[in-house]
Amino acid sequence: MNDVVNILAIETSCDDTAAAVVQNNKVLSNIVSSQKIHELYGGVVPEVASREHDKLIVPVVRKALKNSGLRLNQINAVAYTRGPGLMGSLLVGTSFAKSLSLSLNVPLLDINHMHAHILSIFIDDGKDIPTFPFLALTVSGGHTQLVIVNSASDFNLIGTTLDDAAGEAFDKSGKLLGFEYPAGPKIDKIANDGDPNKFTFTKPNVAGLDFSFSGLKTNFKNFILSKDKSFIEDNLNDICASLQMTIIDVLIDKIKVASKRFKINQIVVCGGVSANSQLRSQLKALDDKEIKTYVPEIQYSTDNAAMIGICGYYKFLDSNYGNLKDQSIAKYPLS
């Protein structure tokens, strides 16, 4: 097997059209084109997202390849997001990746988006990385999951949301405040100048390691509806800071419970919400002799194809892929 593995990766699971080239654990290029059109609708419109992917996939892949400095004939495998995600959006990336791998006659690597978020922590950019086993909290727009990661291919789900995801709690609350989708980054920014203890919102009390954010959503909605416009405007920073702190408290509490229960002290927090500045500083504050936390660089927290490439690299190293001498495409899962 080659010592150097170049993987072209494609991610189209939701509203970001992304392509990257990775060389082993290193990222050579990472292009993300976020579809702005959904801001008009206050959320992602699946049919619109697939059509946008269809328009963007070729220029985005071209740019990723150009920025990597490699040529197509140096690509050893094509990795793509198989799921979870929006069916129409996934199909665009899947068809493109399959066609490309067939034409290059290189392996096609189907990647689970949630696993890729977790393995994004292994992108080699000079930061500390955890050793197996570790605990991962994946907080994105569609998922909130606690996972024990025993190896790059062994993931054990130990907790998940019963309703809304943490990212949805940000996005839906932000929508009530009139913010465009996705509202998480804006709430993060506005909360910076606010008092997180000014207002108290319902903190879900779910036993065990599962999560629930729908009660908070209802409580926040009722709060907003009970106030007039000028009150909300005058207190916007404090409202955002208090909401954000409620969500973060839930996440931090669950991390502590899981870490204690499974006696695992290395915690990776990944997915879009891990870009949140307050969550990052709260995690840093957790770090002591007992717990060590890890977060990906911000550009690898939110959806990107570099994480698909890294996940692909681990899959390629797996004997089912990398050790095969005959890399004919017929040997790889095409359906």
Single out the residue of 121, 303, 310, 321 in contact with Zn ion (rule: CB under 5 A): 303
Q: Give the residues lining the site for ligand KG4 (CB under 6 A).
A: 14, 140-142, 167, 170-171, 182-185, 188, 271-273, 275-276, 302-303
Decide if residue 89 touches Zn ion (CB under 5 A).
Answer: no
Give the interface segment with Zn ion, choosing from 49-57, 88-96, 303-311, 322-330 (CB under 5 A): 303-311
With CB under 5 to 8 Å by kind, the binding choice for 182 among ligand KG4, Zn ion, none is ligand KG4
With CB under 5 to 8 Å by kind, the binding choice for 177 among ligand KG4, Zn ion, none is none
With CB under 5 to 8 Å by kind, the binding choice for 312 among Zn ion, ligand KG4, none is none
Q: What's the distance, CA 8 to chain centroid?
A: 19
Pairing of strands 6-11, 16-23: antiparallel
Decide if residue 81 touches Zn ion (CB under 5 A).
Answer: no
Exposed, middle or buried: residue 207 (CB in 10 Å: 0-12, 13-18, 19+)?
exposed
Decide if residue 30 touches Zn ion (CB under 5 A).
Answer: no
Structure tokens at 5: 């593995």
Instruction: Spell 254-266 as b/e; 16+ CB within 10 A means b.
Output: bbeebbeeeebbb
What is the smallest separation between the CB atom of 108 and ligand KG4, expressed in angstroms? 22
| Distance, CA of 94 to CA of 82 (rounded, Å) | 7
Question: For residues 56 and 106, which CB has a smaller minimum distance to ligand KG4 in the complex?
Answer: 56
Question: For residues 110 and 188, which CB has a smaller minimum distance to ligand KG4 in the complex?
Answer: 188
What is the smallest separation between the CB atom of 143 and ligand KG4, expressed in angstroms? 7
Structure tokens at 142: 């569609």
Question: For residues 106 and 166, which CB has a smaller minimum distance to ligand KG4 in the complex?
Answer: 166
What is the smallest separation between the CB atom of 69 and ligand KG4, expressed in angstroms? 27
| Distance, CA of 12 to CA of 111 (rounded, Å) | 12
**Omega of the bond leading into 133 within 30 degrees of 0 (cis):** yes
Question: For residues 81 and 244, which CB has a smaller minimum distance to Zn ion in the complex?
Answer: 81
Relative orientation angle of helices 87-104 and 46-68, to the nearest 10 degrees: 30
What is the smallest separation between the CB atom of 169 and ligand KG4, expressed in angstroms? 8
* Residue 280 contacts residue 287 (beta carbons within 8 Å): no
* Residue 136 contacts residue 270 (beta carbons within 8 Å): yes
Question: For residues 170 and 332, which CB has a smaller minimum distance to ligand KG4 in the complex?
Answer: 170
Structure tokens at 75: 């690509």
CA-closest candidate to residue 272, choices 253, 295, 250:
295
With CB under 5 to 8 Å by kind, the binding choice for 302 among ligand KG4, Zn ion, none is ligand KG4
What is the smallest separation between the CB atom of 214 and ligand KG4, expressed in angstroms? 15
3-state secondary structure of 5: coil
With CB under 5 to 8 Å by kind, the binding choice for 204 among Zn ion, ligand KG4, none is none
What is the smallest separation between the CB atom of 179 and ligand KG4, expressed in angstroms? 10
Relative orientation angle of helices 184-191 and 236-262, to the nearest 10 degrees: 110
Backbone angles phi, psi at 13, to 5 degrees: -75, -25
Question: For residues 9 and 14, which CB has a smaller minimum distance to ligand KG4 in the complex?
Answer: 14
With CB under 5 to 8 Å by kind, the binding choice for 171 among ligand KG4, Zn ion, none is ligand KG4
What is the smallest separation between the CB atom of 282 and ligand KG4, expressed in angstroms? 12
> How would you list the strands of the sheet with 16-23, edge to edge?
26-34, 16-23, 6-11, 77-83, 108-112
What is the smallest separation between the CB atom of 319 and Zn ion, expressed in angstroms? 28
- The contact set with Zn ion (CB under 5 A) reads 140, 303
